[in-house]
Amino acid sequence: MASIIDPWGSSLPEDYEKIVREFGLETFDARLFPEPNKLMRRGVVFAGRDLKRIADCIKEKKPFYALTGIMPSNDRIHLGTKMIIENLRYFQEHGAQTYILVADLEAAAARGVALEEARQRALDFFIPAYIALGLDPKKTLFYFQSENMDVIRIGFQASKKITANEFRAIYGTNDPGRIVSAVTQIGDILYPQLGERQPGIIPVGIDQDPHIRLTRDFVNRTRRLRFFPPSSLYVRYTPSLDGGLKMSKSKPEGCIMLPEDVKTAVKRIKRAKTGGRDTVEEHRRLGAIIEQDMVFELLKQHLIDDDAELQRIHDEYKAGRMLSGELKEIACERMRAFLELFDKRLAAARVLVKKGGLNFVRYKKAAGLEESKR
């Protein structure tokens, strides 16, 4: 039986290569893009769809957009979100018109969060947090799903082109709340093309790929190809500090959230699973098993931007000249600096948002949405 990824569930893909094969993704090749960011250079970005289309837009300076969504169902964000923003920022800095939407309708339908609460959380925390992580608010358009009639209308149109069997084959369920959430997300993904038909890239977690597939199927069925099928970009998970596949709130000991109290983060890093050997003597002789080291992974994914510096640490540690305790010291120090900076920037971004310093898309009348019968 074909595997199913459930975007609302918590099951995990064990094997990234298998996912690439089964779902027909492209393996990511950093040489495709100019000035790739650290996640691209280091293989943390591992796959995507239709990437050349976007690389060409960048190289030829043609218009394209980058869009992602906030689901305001928790009260803190995950380090995985930090990576999504880093990728979004890459496209923003390379010419993309950037959109961030607040999935308040989805939070209500799939998670039971009241609309008003979802919106308040987005304004109080999520949007400021995204800005604190480097998103340029001046170059970003924001909207609430519940306020964007164009999104809803594209969703309705998509619903006419998708069968219940097809939906079940992709998502493994036919729950009506999931169906409306998914078609609404199709509306989000394509909405920027209503103004001008243009390619777009959706940087997300791999759990969102079902929505990308569904959107692409819908686009391929619309007459006269009114939309470009969306491109997408996926990152690996940040592993749990105990060595599990993914940091998750259900196992807080292995998890660092944002914001996080520095003491808690340091304590958790100190207890993390490393690739160090049982004794110092053995470690000096054999060197660390870097592939099994969660602290090194944290440095690589989140805490060290400079490749040469990361390489130096890698080499020292692998050769056994650096001990796990020393690696942890570096990670704790970097984490402290990062968390403190995040707090400071979050406070500043909150002030900005309160002052109304964001570009919000308010409802515009949908133009030319009806399909021609010809």
Which residues contact ligand TRP (rule: CB under 6 A)?
Answer: 7, 67-69, 71, 101, 103, 106, 185, 188-189, 202, 204, 208
Beta strands in 90-226 (DSSP E): 97-102, 140-144, 200-205
Number of residue whose CB is nearest ligand TRP: 69
Q: For residue 232, what are its two tokens?
A: 């997408």
Tokens 């969703």 identify what position?
155
Instruction: Kindly tell me which of 19 and 189 has the beta carbon lying closer to ligand TRP.
Output: 189
**CB 68 to ligand TRP: min, Å:** 5
**CB 353 to ligand TRP: min, Å:** 19
Instruction: Kindly tell me which of 37 and 81 has the beta carbon lying closer to ligand TRP.
Output: 81
Helix, strand, coil in percent for the chain, rounding step 5: 55, 10, 35
**CB 275 to ligand TRP: min, Å:** 32
Instruction: Kindly tell me which of 105 and 310 has the beta carbon lying closer to ligand TRP.
Output: 105
**CB 13 to ligand TRP: min, Å:** 16
Instruction: Kindly tell me which of 148 and 274 has the beta carbon lying closer to ligand TRP.
Output: 148
Pairing state of beta strands 200-205 and 97-102? unpaired
**In DSSP terms, which residues pair with 102 in a beta bridge?**
70, 144
Q: What are phi and psi of 172, to 5 degrees?
A: 75, 10
**CB 298 to ligand TRP: min, Å:** 23
Residues 261 and 151: their CA atoms lie apart, in Å, by: 38
Return the closest-CA partner of residue 190 out of 6, 8, 372, 369: 369
**CB environment 129-163: b (16+ within 10 A), e (fewer):** bbbbbebebeebbbbbbbbbebbbbbbebbbebbe
**CB 100 to ligand TRP: min, Å:** 9
Instruction: Kindly tell me which of 146 and 185 has the beta carbon lying closer to ligand TRP.
Output: 185
**CB 292 to ligand TRP: min, Å:** 30
Instruction: Kindly tell me which of 51 and 202 has the beta carbon lying closer to ligand TRP.
Output: 202
**CB 63 to ligand TRP: min, Å:** 19
Instruction: Kindly tell me which of 19 and 101 has the beta carbon lying closer to ligand TRP.
Output: 101
By the 10 Å C-beta count (0-12 exposed, 13-18 middle, 19+ buried), 362 is classed as exposed
Contact status, residue 49 vs residue 210, Cβ threshold 8 Å: no
If DSSP codes are grouped into helix, strand and coil, which group holds residue 95?
coil
Q: What are phi and psi of 142, to 5 degrees?
A: -115, 150
**CB 247 to ligand TRP: min, Å:** 16
Instruction: Kindly tell me which of 214 and 327 has the beta carbon lying closer to ligand TRP.
Output: 214
Q: For residue 365, what are its two tokens?
A: 């009348």
The amino acid that residue 177 corresponds to is G
Instruction: Kindly tell me which of 122 and 294 has the beta carbon lying closer to ligand TRP.
Output: 122
Pairing state of beta strands 200-205 and 26-27? unpaired
Residues 192 and 312: their CA atoms lie apart, in Å, by: 43
